Amino acid sequence: MKFFHLIMCCMTVFISNACAQQSDAGREEHIAKPYTPLSETELQQLNEQQLLNAKQMSASALTYFVTKVANNKYGYTVFVDGQLYIEQNTIPAKDGTVGFNTIEDAEGIARLVIKKLGDGEIPPTITLQELKEHGIE
């Protein structure tokens, strides 16, 4: 439960920062900074955090449900210890607001999300390649 609250706090800070950046966008020009790779210390901290996430998630009950969404399409919800964690009404990684065509498509990606959570990937990101591997174009 503490882990869920930590994630919610992080999401609140992220959303607050994103909103502040959007409100500033019209007032000043943002200059893109060059990419700098993570230091060895930062990589180690990231790996340690992922291991901690995996340990916490492996001790949690991870469940999903396929849901019916607009236009006879499907989405899914993921619960961690009975608490709603993800509500996905559209196909992740794709532009637009269209749900999955079949229950099986939604279920396959929901299972992939649960596997990623169990592996400590937070947030569990779905790629276009993974969609393609699951037969979702």
Per-residue tens of pLDDT for the chain, all 137 residues: 444 444 444 443 344 444 444 444 445 566 777 888 889 898 889 888 888 888 888 788 999 999 999 999 999 999 999 999 999 999 999 998 999 999 999 999 999 999 999 988 989 999 999 999 999 98
Write the DSSP symbol of residue 29.
P
Q: What pTM, to 2 d.p., does this model score?
A: 0.68
What b-and-e string marks burial along 41-73, b requiring 16 or more CB atoms within 10 Å of the CB?
eeeeeeeeeeeebbebbeebebebebbebeeeb
Residue 4 contacts residue 79 (beta carbons within 8 Å):
no
Pairing of strands 73-80, 83-88: antiparallel
What separation in angstroms does the CA of 103 have from each of 16, 36, 75?
A: 34, 42, 8
Helix orientation angle between 40-58 and 103-118, rounded to the nearest 10 degrees: 120
